Structure 1
Amino acid sequence: MTDVAAREHEHGDMETGDGLSNRLTWLRAGVLGANDGIVSVAGIVMGVAGATADRGDILIAGVAALVAGALSMAAGEYVSVSTQRDAERALITAERHDLERMPAEELDQLREMLESRGLSTEVAREAAEQLTEWDALRVHANLEFGIDVDDVANPWSAAAASALSFTLGALLPLLTIMLPAGGRVWATVLAVAAALALTGWTSARLGYASPGRAMLRNVAGGVLAMLVTWGIGNLLGTTVV
């Protein structure tokens, strides 16, 4: 019977995806951060390049966009994940309180959750008792809220990952736009399109979606943003690159 309870508990981990889900969340956030860095900075440097051929002006605009974007992404991620962490901690505290004050009711609730996952009443009751003896708080937090008590969200790591991924993505258009004036616009467009195809493919694979559509949407959106900003810069500026 211990094996049954253990398998059921492991099945709960798989459904909520504690460790794997958290890793995929950060990986997906990293991919999206890199994607934002590519598109945002590419749009800005293309707009400036459409207005002037001065590499110093383009570099200043690109670096400013990179720094501002990375800090903005980090701040937003920190606030968002801090809110998530506070909510997770509050749920864990409330669950610990309920387990101390209403152990019988919590045991019945656990049995019902296990029954809803396919166990018979007798097996669910025995599994609930054994899991409660093993680690009641961990089991309830996992099955009720999908929270791993040892893996509460970390806002600092999320902020750092977001800023780093944005910076890495932003470096690509910033470097290619600094090439000699003859072909830097087309080099930037091609490099950005290739990078967006890669991030689109990666995000689709992480989400078990069709890579083709994701890549097409990603590339089309990024290229359109670059063309529009370059056209606006060209109209407002005095020099055509």
Structure 2
Amino acid sequence: MHRERHIGDRVGWLRAAVLGANDGIVSTASLIVGVAAAEAGRSGILVAGVAGLVAGAMSMAAGEYVSVSSQADAEKADIERERAELAASPDSELRELSGFYTARGLTPDLADEVARQLTATDALAAHVQDELGISGTSIARPIQAAFASAVSFSIGAAVPLIVAIAAPLSLTLSTVTAAAVLSLAFLGAVGAKVGGAPILKAVLRVTIWGVVAMAITAGIGKMFGAVV
């Protein structure tokens, strides 16, 4: 016996956590940079940062819960439909299941035998996994996704906010930008490592888009600050 490590069981929470942390860093840093570029005072910058953290965390949690709940509802509807089909046409469902295994490379006789044995054990489970493609590692978990998004967004958003609190007012824009870029690079590397993806590609992806977002908001803040 040997132990194998796979990443499939991490997909749900990993996606929500990486997305939440990335949004927390980018949106809060961009908000702070934009307000700072408008030459606002420290209180205005901090109010904007705190408001961005709280509103963003709640928005991420609500958005993830609603979207993943919709996915879970669709999965439940498919499972109930499959349950009804098994009750109404068990022979047709058995042939359908056998056809899946034949298409995957089994001989017709072996596919029939596998289908019969799996049907005798748990017909619904066999169809849910092999026909619908729903497994224990991929099933939608709304509460888990919402919690992971809210927590990760808050952690990500706290980085530029703490830097904005600690840095001198005159250096807010540069220090927050630098902290955000470094945090995004770290997040990209960690996410790639956990997910088994190329690290450099992930780092470049998150940092480039983060820099673009901050540059745009800084430009808008500078423009409106000059107008005011």
Contact 2:8/2:138, CA 8 A, preserved across alignment: no
How far apart, CA to CA, are the structure 2 residues paired with 1:151 and 1:203?
18
The yes-or-no answer on 1:174 pairing with 2:161 is yes
Q: Under a length normalisation based on structure 1, what TM-score does the superposition of the two structures give?
A: 0.82
Residue pairs, 1:182-201, within 5 angstroms: 182-201=170-189
Asked if structure 2 preserves the Cα contact closer than 8 Å seen for 1:51 and 1:237, the reply is yes
Report the alpha carbon displacement of residue 185 of structure 1 after superposing the two structures with TM: 2.6
Match of 1:97 among 84, 87, 99: 84
1:85 maps to what in 2? 72
- Cα distance in structure 2, aligned partners of 1:144 and 1:22: 20
For the 8 Å contact 1:77–1:162, the answer to whether it is kept is yes
Is 132-141 or 208-217 further displaced after alignment?
Answer: 208-217
Shift of residue 72, structure 1, vs aligned partner: 1.5
Question: Which of 205, 208, 211 lines up with 1:217 in the alignment?
Answer: 205
- 1:207–1:161 Cα change, 3 Å: closer
Identical aligned residues as a percent: 48
Structure 1 counterpart SS, 2:134 = coil
Give the length in aligned residue pairs.
220
Amino acid at match of 2:183: A
Tell me, in whole angstroms, the C-alpha distance in 1 between the residues paired with 2:196 and 2:144.
Answer: 25
Indicate the SS of the match to 1:142.
helix
- Structure 2 counterpart of 1:136: 123
**Aligned positions of 1:25-174 closer than 5 A:** 25-52=12-39, 54-148=41-135, 152-174=139-161
- Where structure 1 has 5 or more consecutive residues not aligned to the other structure, the ranges are 1-18
Quick check: 1:233 aligned with 2:206?
Answer: no
Q: Which TM-score applies when normalising by structure 2?
A: 0.87
In 1, Cα distance between equivalents of 2:144 and 2:202: 27
CA contact (8 A) 2:82 2:127 kept: yes
